[in-house]
Amino acid sequence: MKNKLKVYRAMNDLTQEDLAKELKVTRQTIIAIEKLKYDPSLALAFKIARFFNVQIEEIFLDTE
């Protein structure tokens, strides 16, 4: 699964640390999601979408 997390983070002028604090996850999780090494759970994906005030599919793209 691809994602635009890095783009949205940059658009909102947030560091990985800031975003991690807001989402209550570790910074390593943000890094792993951005590097496409880890697909977040549905709950976390919704949380991210809600935080950026967009639909979930605008950030996460199904590549299959």
Partner 1 sequence: MNQNSLKIILILTSAIQTVLWVAGLILANVKLVISALIIIVAILPLVYVHRNDISEMFQRDSNKIVEDERTQLINDKSSTLTLGVLIGTIIYVGLIIVSLRNVYPQFLFTGYTLLITALFGLVIFIISSSYYKRRY
- Give the residue, chosen from 6, 14, 29, 51, that forms a contact with partner 1 under the rule CB under 8 A: 29
Compute the Cα dihedral for 8, 27, 61, 42 and give only its sign: negative
- Give the residue, chosen from 25, 34, 49, 51, that forms a contact with partner 1 under the rule CB under 8 A: 25
- Give the residue, chosen from 1, 7, 15, 28, that forms a contact with partner 1 under the rule CB under 8 A: 28
Sequence-distant (6+) residues with CB within 8 A of 45 are 56, 59, 60
Binding of residue 26 to partner 1 (CB under 8 A): yes
What minimum distance in Å lies between the beta carbon of 63 and partner 1?
20
